[in-house]
Amino acid sequence: MEWAEEPYPVLGDREGLPAGMLMEELAGLWDLLADSLTRMGPGCLWPGALRWHATYGWQVLEVPPLGSGEPPLPDTPGARARDVWAIVHGLVRVAAGRPPRDLGDVFALLDLHAGEFPHGLDAIVRALLVGADPRAVLAAVRTEGEDGEVRVRPAAETAVGSRKAKGDPEMDNEDAFAVVRDIHGAVLLVVCDGVTGEGDGSGARAARAAVEAVRAYFCRDDHQGLTAGVAVADTAVNALTKGASTFLGASVAPSGEVDLALVGDSPAWLVRRLPDGARIAFRLTPDQTVLAEEIRTDPAAQWGGSLLTRHLGGYADEPFTTSVQTVPGDLLVLLSDGAAVPSDTWFGDDLAALASAHPSAPGLAAALVARAENLGGRDNATALIAEILP
């Protein structure tokens, strides 16, 4: 096979598209793909078909379909699925640094390494898989903040979980949360999920000690932000308890910019409106677990999903930090892992559907906790929502 022009580097190659530029460059891909699929017909893509060059941009290496040279009909079985897989394969390979094995591997990587990968990549991949318009999702993900200040309406719900309860109402719920408005007008939201350990209440005490320490710290006029808050929480857990806890914090500035800090596996999500009024959800934080570390290099990894590599109580020295710009209409969603329990569908789809049905912060928080109970109530479920208002 001879190509009409020199092939550019394959997506994911070291000299190819940098992961940090993926979302910026994606806008230029869709028209080129549409042109290729129109000329060659569905089924013309394969993993490796998408290429990128720093000077010339995108390239699509089309493979004529097997047979007489006639393009396949649009309803050729499997043709669209092959094209979609080729696109998803390339995008995830850029972010992960290795090719995905299958769709299960794709969503494991996107979920466990969200935030480390570009924000919104999980929503774009999902749009491709269900036949939605990825351009609309990309435009929504990359929406820029508006001039002026935003208001924050917080709400929270928490519950033990019927199968988690052991008959001690005071200690059964090992989740704790807080909302604080600091002297500069920023709103701090924190969710801590205590580690059960020996079932002696140490997890609940650790989460509560962390939340109270952070609450007091952010009421001071000299606080140094979220990363310093993680250290304050860790110190309190070590000094006052024998337990451990996750930490998920978000600081929403009056401009709508959000700083996030994570220790553990409590997830943060953002829900945003599309131009047609529908909603998308994309995850903002990764999991700091053994499974997350293993699956980065081994697509067959399956163990260690609940074993934390970072937590308050001695292992909080490397928090994950990131930032995201919110706009009026957004819902910033902070959860304990029990409120993000998986179902038969992708959690982002469930979250977007719940946000469409319950568009306010109080309604969505209650719906998420109820969902966790309806799916078995196996863990404490806490949902802390910040509704961004003009």
The pLDDT > 70 percentage for the chain reads 96
What angle in degrees, to the nearest 10, is found between the helix axes of 121-130 and 134-141? 160
pTM to 2 decimals?
0.95
Mean pLDDT of 9-32: 93
pLDDT band at residue 77 using 50, 70 and 90 as cut-offs: confident
Mean pLDDT of 123-148: 94
Question: Tell me, what's the pLDDT at 21?
Answer: 96
Among 60-64, 234-238, 292-296, 339-343, the range scoring the smallest mean pLDDT is 60-64
Token pair 């650790």 in the structure block, residue: 206
pLDDT band at residue 244 using 50, 70 and 90 as cut-offs: very high
- 296 pLDDT higher than 80: yes
Separation of alpha carbons 206 and 311, rounded Å: 11
Give the model confidence (pLDDT) of 355-374 as tens digits.
999 999 999 999 999 999 99
Separation of alpha carbons 276 and 44, rounded Å: 31
Q: Enumerate the H helices of the chain as residue ranges.
A: 22-26, 30-40, 79-96, 103-112, 121-130, 134-141, 202-218, 226-240, 290-295, 347-357, 361-374
Question: Tell me, what's the pLDDT at 74?
Answer: 59
> How high does pLDDT run on average in the chain?
93
Positive/negative CA dihedral, 69, 70, 74, 77: negative
Question: Tell me, what's the pLDDT at 382?
Answer: 98
14 vs 253, more confident: 253
Question: Tell me, what's the pLDDT at 2?
Answer: 66
Separation of alpha carbons 386 and 39, rounded Å: 47
Among 31-45, 77-91, 359-373, the range scoring the smallest mean pLDDT is 31-45
Give the model confidence (pLDDT) of 120-135 as tens digits.
999 999 999 999 999 9
Mean pLDDT of 160-173: 91
pLDDT band at residue 67 using 50, 70 and 90 as cut-offs: low
Do residues 321 and 134 lie in contact, with contact meaning Cβ atoms separated by under 8 Å? no
Separation of alpha carbons 245 and 308, rounded Å: 10
pLDDT band at residue 212 using 50, 70 and 90 as cut-offs: very high
pLDDT band at residue 14 using 50, 70 and 90 as cut-offs: confident
Question: Tell me, what's the pLDDT at 68?
Answer: 44
